[in-house]
Amino acid sequence: MGNEQSLSSSTEINHKAIEVTDFYTHHSASVNFGNVNNLSVFIGEEVLDGSIWIKQTPLEKSSKNLMVYRHPCILKYFSSWEKGSKFHLAVEDVKPLSLVLSTLNNLQICIGLYSILKALYFLHNIAEVSHNNVCLASIYIAKDGNWKLGGMEYLCKFKEMTLDYMGKTKKYRYNKGIDPNEMKYLGEKKLERRDFVDLYSFSVLVWDVLKKNDEIPFLGEFLELCRNDLQNSNINLRPKFDTLLEHDFFNHDFIKIHCFLTELPLKSDIEKNEFFTTLIGKLRNFDELIIASQLTNLLLSRMVLLNKTAQTNVIPFLLSPKEELDTEDENLGLFTTDTFKKYVIPKLLEIFCVRDAQIRLLLLEHLNHYINCFQIQELQSNILPELLVGVKDTNDQLVAITLRALADLVPILGAETVIGGKRAKLFNDGRPIQHLTRKQRKSIRKNDLNTPSNVCIEKDLLENRDILQDLPERPSPDGEEGETSTEDLEEEDNWEDWDLNEAQREITKDNLETSINAEMSSMSLGVNRKNSKKDLPDILELDIKNQKNKTDLDDIDFFQDMEPVIEVNKFNVEAKDVDVRKFGVVNEDKEEGWGDDDW
């Protein structure tokens, strides 16, 4: 009762009804109850004719039967409660079959009918009860595509299946599915078989749902069996439910695969190994939508994920979406990206919440194949938190593969989202900067920048320019000021020599490069550059306030300081005071090479 009260209080019911009948309305509901997020809630309606519903309403009786008779092919009961004058029944999230039947093909319908047959076999041969209203309205389809038998308000035990009871319920049941001779058979004193009611109803259901224009193996034979044998006037000649389960219509490859996966815990290791070895080859013969809608949950079940043979022969193809252009490649996955996103991703989001080391290792091993199928919000809200939990585990193998998975998330979510905290630029780009001459730049501009090669060159130019701007200014080797910087060299190289012709510009450029090379060579050899320094007027002498007369100004060459002279020392020092080690060979204050302080 505590669980029922908790479920009733935490359930938010959508007021818009999915289905309306004489006895109840069907609503979808959201709930936070364990691992359950969505449910279906049936709300009972008042029954005017209470001749057979004196003790309990139809929904109350259906609720009791669902709670007692549990089977994978029967609607799963969660809870029931009364609120005001209304009775509420909460079951698994389902939709009426009538709403989706038009979207199903005969193979999907075949699987669904097989599930209903197994439910009826359980009720008749195990529980010894009769459903009494097998029809389209009593069947629901779950999220995984499986059919579930509901409508249990007319169910009764064999000994309660009397002429009086069946007569009172007859007007409420599906009229087309009622055997015309039902009352006659029930009036017999020695009635040996009680399954004739559901057998007849099932034969009518088959003709209502199967599409005659879509041929599958043994479809015609099975339809004739339903019309002739299951509706035989002699009820003792009607096939039993176990006989129907063995019909060839329910024993082709897809049905066998579905049944084997359903009954996997009952199979031996040898049977499992043989099954999983050949499974992918068999599945490729069927449409991917049918495989995804009908088998995804079974293929991603715990029993399959932990099987060694399945991990090698099935899981890699199941967790690797195939590219649209390579659909004929047999080494690729079973599903295209769209199908994978629709059917497999929701299941993977559930499995990632499972704290099982072997399952998590298997999922992360193939994560790089399907990581792009997740939405950004799913990665950030569901996958990333689970990965951060795995980093703290004591299993070294799990931690290692989790860190690799986090690395795969960085390009998608960004490092700030994945690792958190504040980040700073701690590393610089130490690649040598390659400067292009003005002639090379002019040649590049003349070419068509739309061509791929020139686009790449222009991109490299822009990147080098950004790197140059981001790098901090490098001090002179001897710590002194006054040297011409790289930017100054570029400014001189870009200076427009408007008073020179093209030939003179090239000569000036060659002289510039020769001077720079000579000066740099002098620096590396530790030569005293005082002797090579040219006599230039002091900057103060060029100030107009310090100029004595116009005649002196006429003798001044204002462009003299534009000559490519690299000046290192601004102090007047004697050659004997110059230490060669200051020019990059040895540093007096630090050790040679990369010391600890240099980091």
Cα separation values, 524 from 478, 532, 582, Å: 12, 15, 10
The yes-or-no verdict on residue 52 having pLDDT over 50 is yes
222 pLDDT higher than 70: yes
- Mean pLDDT for all residues in the chain: 78
Calculate what percentage of the chain has a pLDDT beyond 90.
43
**106-117: per-residue pLDDT in tens?**
888 999 999 999
Show the tokens assigned to 53: 């519903």
133: helix, strand or coil:
coil
Superfamily of domain 96-253: Transferase(Phosphotransferase) domain 1 (1.10.510.10)
Sign, CA dihedral 509-513-516-522, equals negative
* pLDDT score of 251: 87
- pLDDT for 331 equals 62
Confidence of residue 219 (pLDDT cuts 50, 70, 90): confident
Name the pLDDT band for 544 (thresholds 50, 70, 90). low
Question: For the packed helices 486-493 and 502-525, what is the interaxial angle rounded to 10 degrees?
Answer: 160
Q: How far apart are alpha carbons 456 and 466 in whole angstroms? A: 15
Is residue 72 over pLDDT 60? yes
Tell me the HSE value of 304 on the side-chain side, using a 13 A CA sphere: 24
Whole-number pLDDT of residue 136: 94
Place of tokens 């019911």: 13
Q: Find tokens 């008073």 and name the residue.
A: 499
Lowest mean pLDDT among 5-9, 261-265, 311-315, 331-335: 5-9
| Angle, CA 405 vertex, CA 402 and CA 410 arms, to 5° | 130
Does residue 177 contact residue 107 with C-beta atoms inside 8 Å? no
User: How far is residue 130 from each of residues 69, 73, 199, 225, 506, measured CA to CA in Å?
Assistant: 12, 15, 10, 22, 105
What's the pLDDT score for residue 73? 93
Return the half-sphere exposure (C-beta side, CA atoms, 13 A cut-off) of residue 219: 17
Are 77 and 70 in contact by the 8 Å Cβ rule? The answer is: yes
Q: Which of 1.10.3210.10, 3.30.200.20, 3.10.450.50, 3.40.50.300 would CATH assign to domain 2-95?
A: 3.30.200.20
d(CA 342, CA 337): 9
Which pLDDT band holds residue 516 (cuts at 50, 70, 90)?
Answer: low
- In the predicted structure, residue 511 carries a pLDDT above the cut 90: no
Span 188-203, pLDDT tens digits: 877 778 899 999 999 9
Lowest mean pLDDT among 2-16, 35-49, 235-249, 276-290: 2-16
Residue 156 pLDDT > 90: yes
User: Of 226-235, 355-364, 374-383, 579-588, which gets the smallest average pLDDT?
Assistant: 579-588
**Pairing status of strand 36-44 against strand 156-157:** unpaired
pLDDT confidence tier of residue 596, bands split at 50, 70 and 90: very low
* From-to residues of CATH 3.30.200.20 in the chain: 2-95
Tokens matching residue 575: 């050659």
pLDDT of 15 strictly over 50: yes
Helix axes 106-121, 253-262, angle to 10 degrees: 50
Read off the pLDDT band of 489 (50, 70, 90). very low
